[in-house]
Amino acid sequence: MALDATDRDILCAALADPASAWNLGAFGAAAEFRRRPDEPFRILGEGRIGLRTATGGIALTLTDAVRPIAYEMPVGDGWSHAVALCLPAADFGAVACSRFTELGPDREALDPARRAAVSFDLGLGSAQVSVRVRTDRPGPLARLRAHLGAAPPDFDGAIRPEALGGEADLVVVGPLGRIEVSSGAGDPFGPRAYVVPKILRRRRTHVATAPIPAGLVPVAHLYPPHPCRDSALRPIPFERARHDAFQVLLARWGDRDGLTLKAAVAAGASSPVRPASRWTRAVERVARAQAVHLAGWP
């Protein structure tokens, strides 16, 4: 089913919400974007959907082929939730770059002032994502060019541009857009990029427990406000409005069988609705965790 106008409106509203976070990339190499509620920002122009701040930015291209998949997963005694933005697996071709490569000026930079800066692909060999560094400073440029043709650097965690020769912007580009992390952005709450080679080498498209339908590949994720955690993932008193807001997304973009099973568990079904599996057990755990917080609410 093609992305419709309501879907687009929901996603655009989430982009404008500082309580929401975003992830773009592949399993093992990605960037995250979030901002503080009081952080100044600029809406992107030129027909692009997104925004930028002093610490980075995000731009999305919401094509008709995008399929949102909303889901919840058990985590300890609680749960997490997300919306995966997926594309058909058939849309992915050959790996674009497997060596450290100079790409030239970044004409798609979110800040027009950065479009003359030179971009380099780390060469991670992923069809889902291109992780890049970008600079216009002579010293770092010369040091980055010394790596041309080399195998991808082994960061094994947060990407450190200084390991490649100096300060540089980090740019993660995928089929649906990009997330940028500005040079010198040191806010631990702000945008960040990371690479975990041992995960990336497995060539999995997503974590095995995420209920992504066969034939789809997640290339970005939206993390709406959680009812039990703030934006810094600290525990907060249960917020019913946040819970209800995600249930609307789950009803729109979630698995129908999962919704039926969850409703049955919440209603106190005494016998299994479906044969037990990892998936049914996950749904049941989420339903029971939420029931603890919903007890006493009308």
pLDDT band at 91 (very low <50, low <70, confident <90, very high): confident
Please determine, for residue 208, whether its predicted confidence score (pLDDT) is greater than 80: no
Cα–Cα distance measured from residue 28 to residue 198, given in angstroms and rounded to the nearest whole number: 8
Residue 172 pLDDT level (bands cut at 50, 70, 90) = very high
Task: Please report, for residues 21, 147, 225, 237, the alpha-carbon distance to residue 234 in angstroms, rounded to integers and kept in the order given.
Answer: 14, 40, 12, 10
Q: Which residues of 187-298 form beta strands (DSSP E)?
A: 192-195, 216-223
What digits encode the pLDDT tens for the residues 110-130? 999 999 999 999 888 888 889
| Model confidence at 166: pLDDT above 90 | no
Lowest mean pLDDT among 126-130, 164-168, 186-190, 289-293: 164-168
Find residue 168's DSSP bridge partners.
none
Region 239-247: mean pLDDT is: 97
Q: Which residue has the higher pLDDT, 204 or 65?
A: 65
For residue 160, pLDDT beyond 70: no
What distance in Å separates the CA atoms of residue 233 and residue 123, rounded to the nearest whole number?
Answer: 32
Q: What are the residue boundaries of the structural domains of the chain, listed by start?
A: 1-238, 255-298
Is residue 62 within 8 Å of 176, Cβ to Cβ? yes
Tell me what pLDDT residue 209 has. 77
> Cα separation of 106 and 58, whole Å?
15
